[in-house]
Amino acid sequence: MKKIGATLLIAAIGGAIALGGYKLFENRQLDRMTFEEQQRVFYANNPGAEIMSSTGNPDFTQAAAAVTPGVVHITVTSTARGSQRGGGEPFDLFEEFFGMPQQRRQQPRQSTGSGSGVIISPDGYIVTNNHVVQDADKIEVKLTDKRTFEAKVIGRDANTDLALIKVSASNLPIVKLGDSDNVQVGEWVLAVGYPLGLESTVTAGIVSAKGRQIGILGESQQQQQQRPRGFGNPQGQEEQMINTAIESFIQTDAVINRGNSGGALVNARGELVAINSAIASPTGVYAGYGFAIPINLAKKVLDDFKEFGSVKRGYVGVTFNEINEALRKEVGIEDVSGLYVRDVVKGGGAEAAGIRKGDVLTKIEGRTIESTPDLQERVARLRPGDKVKLTYKRDGKEKEVAVTLTGEQSKTAANESAGGSASGAEIFNKLGASFVPASDAKKKELGVNSGVVIAQVHRGGLFEYFGYESGLVITEINGKPVSNVDDIESALSNTRRNMINIVAVPRRGSIREMNVPLQQQ
């Protein structure tokens, strides 16, 4: 009996060790997966009844019930400084010229805004719009079960109007990622969010169009690219403003209003096909036209945020115009669709593939190019170094080539904005930066045991103000070693007297230490 008992005990211990080792391996594997791959594992382990697409009389009760718990209400608090007399008055410049005390000239103003978000992983990653959280000092997320969490920004991108935020929670309800390429014009869709200050709201409509370009992100980009007063061009030349925005919206007549931004657009099977972003309206409220960001574009951007802290965008290396009657007459071509190549970037992928000025781009990955979004949205799903098949026409003959995408070409690429009792998450957002863990090789190179790399510095945050740059490795905050974004938030929660102590290592044997005040004039 003793031998049997000992054998059973050894077997139990061995089983526990094996199970623990498997769980540790499984967690590490999940961290390396994309959000879509993580969801496949989740649904494989948590199978549910398949939601069937409606036929006959529409019935969206199953889809609404499945999606609603995973769509959250986001409340944003931000602080802006403006003149006591009101912006734009002549007295502002007069007082500044004569040295009026800054405390009198500028008064902090706190404002709040709201939007929606979609939970895409059980451990708290949430997708929303960039314009919902871009000026946030504090972000509060409220679920349909009334639980509230404070969120931190993982990454933002003004070019796509997407943002990824995270709350510290587990076992959260998620919305299943769909395939926006399979969305058809005329298909039923539901918009889920928190419009006009209301609680969770579901509306229904159809897909009215795909690949819409409405110019709303381009306008935002041009405003953000304006130089601050006092920073002139040394050569006295105006720097050309380049619109790097990517617009390929899904248009729907499902009712979308203020507050729906960042919410879910799902098909009748309850799959997330787009992120609600904008409306076209002369009154500012719903007038029949809503626009949402395709989820297939969002997947790549969100995975970039998680892995790199910023978007890794690939470029073909051409400037182009959509073909219309005026262009046909100007350059003497007969093509009625496609993109006319105005110029080829020297050293870019298109030049290496043999594309030249005057060519007409007709297809990408075998799909006909009718307008700008057909090219931009497909390329935006890829990273530098990826290859894409392009078909171009020259002298009436078509040729297909593989173009290797290159990295950022334009020095005018858009920067972003970011913004006390302050929690760790609130202070994290005020830093105005995105971070990724330092690799083992990088830590070995610098001779450190911990560290996070600044992936991106956003305009208007503390890091930009105090001169912190992308690529710098931060090893300690407030005396605590930091190795990931959760460590940063935890360390920032120990901030005392509105002063953050930051230790960075620019190179081996060199330490840069700075006390950063939370409030600067």
For the segment 187-239, what is each residue's pLDDT rounded down to a tens digit?
Answer: 999 999 999 989 999 999 999 999 988 877 754 444 444 333 222 233 333 33
3-class secondary-structure state, position 180: helix
The tens digit of pLDDT for each residue in 288-331 reads: 889 999 999 999 999 999 998 889 888 999 988 888 888 888 88
Report the distance separating Cα 92 and Cα 23, nearest Å.
62
Residues of the chain with pLDDT under 50: 81-105, 219-242, 409-421, 520-521
pLDDT of residue 81: 46
pTM of the complete model beyond 0.75: no
Output phi, psi for 143, to 5 deg.
-90, 170
Report the distance separating Cα 242 and Cα 225, nearest Å.
9
Q: Which residues pair with 71 in a beta bridge?
A: 118
pLDDT of residue 486: 86
Determine the distance from the C-alpha atom of residue 102 to the mean position of all C-alpha atoms in its chain, rounded to a whole number: 35
* Catalytically active residues, by annotation: 131, 161, 261
Determine the distance from the C-alpha atom of residue 84 to the mean position of all C-alpha atoms in its chain, rounded to a whole number: 34
In contact, 338 and 317? CB cutoff 8 Å: no
pLDDT of residue 284: 78
Based on its alpha-carbon atoms, the radius of gyration of the chain, rounded to whole angstroms, reads: 26
Non-local (6+) Cβ contacts of 507 within 8 A are: 446
Output phi, psi for 325, to 5 deg.
-60, -40
Report the distance separating Cα 294 and Cα 250, nearest Å.
6
